[in-house]
């Protein structure tokens, strides 16, 4: 009998220990799972960045879809993901350069809409997204 923990019954202590160990395991599994989802689940992603640093949307480039992006200053862009490429198909901005930029499909390419302060960017797994936000 070397245990010196006082104030709790032995069985209660045991169950508490099991729960805390299980909790730590569960938590680490959960964190790992989240990390797995983020790092492996989507591979190459399309991110929509507003104002230079704020990620407002994130899409899987493998999933063909059309997304509406509304900037905080009221511009609406229609982002089309099709066959691994991304383009702005419609926009309410005045110069429509973002539409004229056409399609991007390679990692680190970007589409920029200056009036909307929106940047659409392709990032691949493992790239450091933090260091690459440039106000456009």
Residue closer to Zn ion by CB (options 81, 113) is: 113
Contacting residue, 49, 98, 120, 122, with Zn ion by CB under 5 A? 98
Spell out the residues 6+ positions from residue 119 whose beta carbon is closer than 8 angstroms to its own: 48, 49, 50, 52, 110, 111, 112, 113, 136
Residue closer to Zn ion by CB (options 42, 91) is: 91
The interface mask with Zn ion, positions 102-121, x = CB under 5 A, is -----------x--------
Taking CA atoms, 113 is separated from 19, 32, 65, 85, 126, in Å, by 52, 36, 20, 17, 26
Output the smallest distance, CB 97 to Zn ion, in A: 6
Candidates 4-12, 37-45, 78-86, 87-95; binding stretch for Zn ion (CB under 5 A): 87-95
Q: Closest Cα partner for 48 from 104, 94, 111?
A: 111
The interface mask with Zn ion, positions 1-40, x = CB under 5 A, is ----------------------------------------
Contacting residue, 42, 71, 87, 91, with Zn ion by CB under 5 A? 91
Residue closer to Zn ion by CB (options 61, 93) is: 93
Output the smallest distance, CB 43 to Zn ion, in A: 27
Q: How far apart are CA 85 and CA 130, in angstroms?
A: 23
Q: Do the beta carbons of residue 113 and residue 27 sit within 8 Å?
A: no
């Amino acid at each position: 009998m070397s245990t010196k923990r006082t104030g709790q019954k032995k069985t209660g202590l045991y169950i508490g220990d099991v729960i805390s160990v299980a909790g730590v395991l569960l938590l680490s599994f959960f964190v790992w799972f989240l990390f797995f989802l983020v790092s492996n689940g989507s591979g190459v992603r399309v991110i929509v960045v507003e104002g230079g640093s704020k990620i407002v949307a994130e899409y899987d480039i493998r999933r063909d879809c059309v997304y509406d992006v509304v900037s905080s200053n009221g511009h609406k862009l229609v982002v089309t993901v099709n066959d691994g490429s991304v383009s702005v198909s419609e926009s309410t901005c005045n110069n429509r350069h973002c539409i004229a930029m056409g399609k991007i499909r390679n990692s680190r390419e970007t589409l920029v809409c200056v009036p909307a302060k929106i940047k659409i960017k392709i990032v691949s797994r493992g790239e450091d997204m933090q260091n690459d936000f440039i106000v456009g």
